[in-house]
Structure 1
Amino acid sequence: MNLTKQLHETARTKGSKPAYYFMDQSSTYAELDGAVTKFASGLEQLGVKKGDHIALLLGNSPHFVIGLHGALRLGATVIPINPIYTPDEIGYIVNNGDVKAVVALDLLLPLVEKMHPALPKVENYIICETPQGKESGIDVTALSAYSKLKSFSQVLASGDLSFTGPELEDDEVAIILYTSGTTGKPKGAMLTHKNLYSNAKDVSDYLHMNENDRVVTTLPMFHVFCLTVALNAPLMNGATIIIDPKFSPKEMFRLVEMYKPTVFAGVPTMYNFLLQYAQSYGGDLSSLRLCISGGSAMPVALLKYFEQKFNVLVSEGYGLSEASPVTCFNPLDRPRKAGSIGQSIVNVENKVVNELGDEVPVGEVGELIVRGPNVMKGYYKMPEESAATIKDGWLYTGDLARMDEEGYFYIVDRKKELIIVGGYNVYPREVEEVLYDHPDVVEAAVIGVPDPNLGEAVRCYVVKKNPSLTENELMDYCTQHLAKYKLPSSIEFLEELPKNTTGKILRRALKTQVLQ
């Protein structure tokens, strides 16, 4: 079984059920599956073949869902790309990923026309019509003047509903996800049909998703967290997804009021925004049976405040692109442990090891490694990096973690973000947890900076709620809760912290500013 075959089966048994809502319009599973089939057939007529690489430069929309599953049904490999990347970033991924066709928003048409001479391998550009594009005066119907350009609707209309597609093998690459590249250029994690299907099914089963669920899909679809947890896992069991083009607290509360969703998946920053908005304007999340947090560690104080305010369970989990992505979740049938990423999901093993690869005793910190049917095939065209990351079937995550006596895992920090102060280890998250506990702190990020005497020192960046909060007051607060070597050398107040498109706070962006 694979994702596109599962979608077809769901459409056969639940064809009249809404598959998604988008901009207050709905589409049934039968309609979605038909569009996927026609798009796959239309791609084939353009000369796209099984094994070819197709890039999706799209935001959250039906275009993304149809483009993803249509390409998979044809047997093509999909490369999702953040549509707000710079031309250099997009160009690198398209060229490195050997992309032959690009599906892009009409708003990106000027960029496509400018970039295409530098992308000689791309044979077709498929442009998706949007209301925003029409408002900007972009006429997709005039694309016939360009031989490489087609409109999404043209490709869809040319497709044949009787198209069946080739047989897909479990170990064939379905998606290549380019990691954010904390060092050097992004690496393309090759995820197979088995990787994606197994993780979506295991997540769906673990979270008890069913056809009665309505899942808010507001995380970026091009990101693996959304791709598995808020898109493929719900569609697997006939649930309905509520596609939100861009997260905002106000829109989230409107969607809850209108559609009564049962599941929400977000990153900690989103939960913080919802909490801050509700405290100022009010808001109800009573229809939700479950909230899922991932992408980065959720501060314990934020988790507790959110659950108390909205009376809803937040299950924190853990994953990474190379694992499709989920490896852990807090269980729903046993006590949730605040600050923990939970236990290994079914069919996936996690363990904590030392630098020799030997498992460390319970409670000790080491590197988290993962094994299971969800672990990637390797990095595209990077055999040495693949061999360094996957050893004896185990994926080395680069995250520092510990495990308690009940098998619950706790992420301590990124291995590369560990701060060493005078020979002592300081984990940024530990300091951040203290800062988040202060009632006048909205957000916090901690990095290590060079220090001539101690090697490194702790620097904090804070967004404050109370304008009168001073650095000295916050320093005094930290002194009460942290050992001396963990104390900040300085605290800087910012209007906002740098974040990626999923809302994850970017410590490395702060560090880059310091080193420049």
Structure 2
Amino acid sequence: MNVTTRLAQIAKQLPDKEAYVFMGERCTYQQLYAAASRFADGLMQLGIRRGDHVALLLGNSPQFIISLYGALRLGATVIPINPIYTPEEIAYILHNGDVKAVIGLDLLAPLVDMAKQRLPLLKQAIVCETAQGKEKGIALSAGMKPFAEVLAAGDPAFAGPELDDDDVAVILYTSGTTGKPKGAMLTHQNLYSNAQDTADYLGINEHDRVIAALPMFHVFCLTVALNAPLMNGGTVLIMPKFSPAAMFTLTREEKATIFAGVPTMYNFLYQHEGGSAADLQTLRLCISGGASMPVALLENFEKKFNVIVSEGYGLSEASPVTCFNPLDRPRKPGSIGTSIKNVENKVVNEYGEEVPAGEVGELVVRGPNVMKGYYKMPEETAAALRDGWLHTGDLARMDEDGYFYIVDRKKEMIIVGGYNVYPREVEEVLYSHPDVVEAAVIGVPDPDYGEAVRAFVVAKNPGLTEEELLAYCRERLAKYKVPGEISFLEELPKNATGKILRRTLKERLTASHS
């Protein structure tokens, strides 16, 4: 089974059910499947074949969904790319990913045109016209095809090839902490199994209306807010861009039942003065992932909005979900929950041996969701996939009930005079201060202790002082864990999903000292 075959089944079972809603536009399953089939045929007419690589440079939109399912229906491999990446970042992925066709916004037409001249493999560029593009007078160069024309040229009765479960469906380029991004190859089985296992675990069904506010090019949205509901007859409520006010309005007007977001989104919602429990009263579940959610934020959010937040865990290499807090058993704040159906998680030492409950080690994963490997990177693949297990690089512990807790990234652990300091532990204390909105902790070189703890904070009270916050930390942390210095910023650097970038803080600090 794969996601496009399943979409065909749902279109037959629930033809008139809403598949998605986008800014007032409503599309049924029958219409969506027909559009995906037409687009697949349109791609084939342009010379795209099974196994060819097709990049998506699109934001949250119907075009993203149609392009994704259309390309997969043809048997092509989809490479979603963040459209706000720099030209250099985009060019690297197009080149490394051996991309044959690009589907992008007209705003990116000059960039795509430049890429076509430099990349011999890149044969086709399909462009989605936007109001901003028209305002700026962006003209399509010769050879660029408007998305609407490709869609109109296709046949809704397109049969498509038989797909193998082990065929690569998607290549997701992960923003690694060091070096160039790596392309995680996810098969049709990886994508479908994780969407269904996540849906089963969280009870996502045809009655759910799921907000897609996370970027669709990110695997969290792709699986949890797109594939999982569409594979089960739910409705996707597409937000072109996240904002607290827009999210509250959409939830009220469309009677949303599920919201999936990263901790930063929950923080923005919590801090937004116009929001109340009445705005979110139709939600049965909020899902958090992408980064660890501070316990203080989780508890404050649930209290203010009277809704359950289920924190989970995943990574691109696992399609991505491996754990979620269960809905039928006690939820443990601060935990990423238990292994979802068909997926195994365990905590191991440096020799790959499972450690006793309560001990910290590396989290490793196996299941039908685990990637095939990294594209054109055999050494990195061998390092990540060992003895049938995916090594995540995250430090974790498991309690006696089988609930897992992420302690921190293996590479971000700070060693102060031989003692391990996990940034998340210090961040949890900072977040518990009533005047702290956001916090991030990194390790910096120290001549005496090897490393020292450095904190960055966004405060809601401009009168909050460094000494006051340090005193607060001293009461709650061992001496070696207390930050040596706390800097106040107007905002913390984040990636497209809202994940706080500790790496960028380190780079800024290094640059300021050089």
TM-score (structure 2 length as normaliser): 0.98
Q: Do the aligned residues in 1 keep the contact of 2:269 with 2:275 (CA within 8 Å)? A: no
Query: What whole-Å deviation, never above 9, does each CA across 1:325-367 have from its counterpart, x for those lacking one?
Result: 0000000011100000000001000000000000001000000
Q: Hey, what's the Cα distance between the residues in 2 that align with 1:209 and 1:295?
A: 20
Query: Cα distance, 1:283 vs. partner?
Result: 6.2
Report SS of the residue matched to 2:298.
helix
Select which of 265, 271, 276 maps to 1:276. 271
1:146 is matched with 142
Q: Hey, what's the Cα distance between the residues in 1 that align with 2:110 and 2:244?
A: 31
Report SS of the residue matched to 2:145.
strand
1:249 is matched with 244
Q: Do the aligned residues in 2 keep the contact of 1:300 with 1:433 (CA within 8 Å)? A: yes
Q: Do the aligned residues in 2 keep the contact of 1:87 with 1:115 (CA within 8 Å)? A: no
Matched, 1:365 2:370: no
Amino acid across the alignment from 1:183: T
Query: Cα distance, 1:280 vs. partner?
Result: 7.3
1:113 is matched with 113
Report SS of the residue matched to 1:137.
coil
Amino acid across the alignment from 2:24: D
Shift of the 283–450 alpha-carbon distance from structure 1 to 2, 3 Å rule, reads farther
Q: Hey, what's the Cα distance between the residues in 1 that align with 2:369 and 2:103?
A: 27
Q: Do the aligned residues in 2 keep the contact of 1:398 with 1:414 (CA within 8 Å)? A: yes
Superposed, 1:187-198 pairs within 5 Å as 187-198=182-193
Q: Hey, what's the Cα distance between the residues in 1 that align with 2:276 and 2:107?
A: 33
Shift of the 280–168 alpha-carbon distance from structure 1 to 2, 3 Å rule, reads closer
Q: Hey, what's the Cα distance between the residues in 1 that align with 2:277 and 2:435?
A: 19
Q: Hey, what's the Cα distance between the residues in 2 that align with 1:352 and 1:457?
A: 27
Shift of the 95–379 alpha-carbon distance from structure 1 to 2, 3 Å rule, reads same
1:227 is matched with 222
2:9 is matched with 9
Q: Hey, what's the Cα distance between the residues in 2 that align with 1:283 and 1:466?
A: 27
Query: Cα distance, 1:512 vs. partner?
Result: 1.2
Select which of 474, 481, 505 maps to 1:479. 474
1:160 is matched with 155
Q: Hey, what's the Cα distance between the residues in 1 that align with 2:173 and 2:35?
A: 27
Matched, 1:391 2:386: yes
Q: Do the aligned residues in 1 keep the contact of 2:439 with 2:455 (CA within 8 Å)? A: yes
Of stretches 434-443 and 115-124 in structure 1, the one that deviates more from structure 2 is 115-124
Query: What whole-Å deviation, never above 9, does each CA across 1:158-217 have from its counterpart, x for those lacking one?
Result: 101221100000111000000012110000000000000000000011110111110000
1:63 is matched with 63
Matched, 1:492 2:502: no
1:20 is matched with 20
TM-score (structure 1 length as normaliser): 0.98
Structure 1 gap ranges (5+): none
Report SS of the residue matched to 2:279.
coil
Q: Hey, what's the Cα distance between the residues in 2 that align with 1:227 and 1:282?
A: 28
Q: Hey, what's the Cα distance between the residues in 2 that align with 1:260 and 1:163?
A: 35
Query: What whole-Å deviation, never above 9, does each CA across 1:222-260 have from its counterpart, x for those lacking one?
Result: 000000000000000110000001100010011012101
Q: Hey, what's the Cα distance between the residues in 2 that align with 1:409 and 1:286?
A: 30
1:467 is matched with 462
Shift of the 282–134 alpha-carbon distance from structure 1 to 2, 3 Å rule, reads farther
Report SS of the residue matched to 1:50.
coil
Of stretches 97-106 and 114-123 in structure 1, the one that deviates more from structure 2 is 114-123
**TM superposition outliers: structure 1 runs of 4+ over 4 Å:** 279-283
Q: Do the aligned residues in 1 keep the contact of 2:277 with 2:304 (CA within 8 Å)? A: no
Report SS of the residue matched to 1:316.
strand
Query: Cα distance, 1:281 vs. partner?
Result: 8.1
Q: Do the aligned residues in 2 keep the contact of 1:444 with 1:460 (CA within 8 Å)? A: yes
Select which of 356, 371, 376 maps to 1:376. 371
1:46 is matched with 46
State percent identity of aligned pairs: 71
1:90 is matched with 90
Q: Hey, what's the Cα distance between the residues in 2 that align with 1:107 and 1:229?
A: 28
Q: Do the aligned residues in 1 keep the contact of 2:248 with 2:275 (CA within 8 Å)? A: no
Amino acid across the alignment from 1:255: L
2:315 is matched with 320
Q: Hey, what's the Cα distance between the residues in 2 that align with 1:282 and 1:265?
A: 17
Amino acid across the alignment from 2:432: D
1:341 is matched with 336
Q: Hey, what's the Cα distance between the residues in 1 that align with 2:177 and 2:166?
A: 28
Q: Do the aligned residues in 2 keep the contact of 1:101 with 1:123 (CA within 8 Å)? A: yes
Query: Cα distance, 1:282 vs. partner?
Result: 8.2
Report SS of the residue matched to 1:488.
coil
Q: Hey, what's the Cα distance between the residues in 2 that align with 1:365 and 1:316?
A: 20
Q: Do the aligned residues in 2 keep the contact of 1:369 with 1:397 (CA within 8 Å)? A: yes
Amino acid across the alignment from 1:213: D
Query: What whole-Å deviation, never above 9, does each CA across 1:31-83 have from its counterpart, x for those lacking one?
Result: 11000000000000000000000000000000000000000000000000000
Amino acid across the alignment from 1:245: P
Query: Cα distance, 1:111 vs. partner?
Result: 1.9
Q: Do the aligned residues in 2 keep the contact of 1:253 with 1:283 (CA within 8 Å)? A: no
Q: Hey, what's the Cα distance between the residues in 2 that align with 1:126 and 1:330?
A: 41
Amino acid across the alignment from 1:479: R
Q: Do the aligned residues in 2 keep the contact of 1:318 with 1:326 (CA within 8 Å)? A: yes
Q: Do the aligned residues in 2 keep the contact of 1:82 with 1:222 (CA within 8 Å)? A: yes
Q: Hey, what's the Cα distance between the residues in 1 that align with 2:276 and 2:505?
A: 31
Report SS of the residue matched to 1:356.
coil
Q: Hey, what's the Cα distance between the residues in 1 that align with 2:244 and 2:375?
A: 37
1:354 is matched with 349
Q: Hey, what's the Cα distance between the residues in 1 that align with 2:227 and 2:82?
A: 19
Amino acid across the alignment from 1:365: V
Q: Hey, what's the Cα distance between the residues in 2 that align with 1:229 and 1:355?
A: 32
Amino acid across the alignment from 2:198: V
Query: What whole-Å deviation, never above 9, does each CA across 1:486-514 have from its counterpart, x for those lacking one?
Result: 01000000000000000000001101112
Query: Cα distance, 1:115 vs. partner?
Result: 3.2
Matched, 1:419 2:428: no
Superposed, 1:431-470 pairs within 5 Å as 431-470=426-465
Q: Hey, what's the Cα distance between the residues in 1 that align with 2:466 and 2:156?
A: 65
Q: Hey, what's the Cα distance between the residues in 1 that align with 2:210 and 2:166?
A: 29
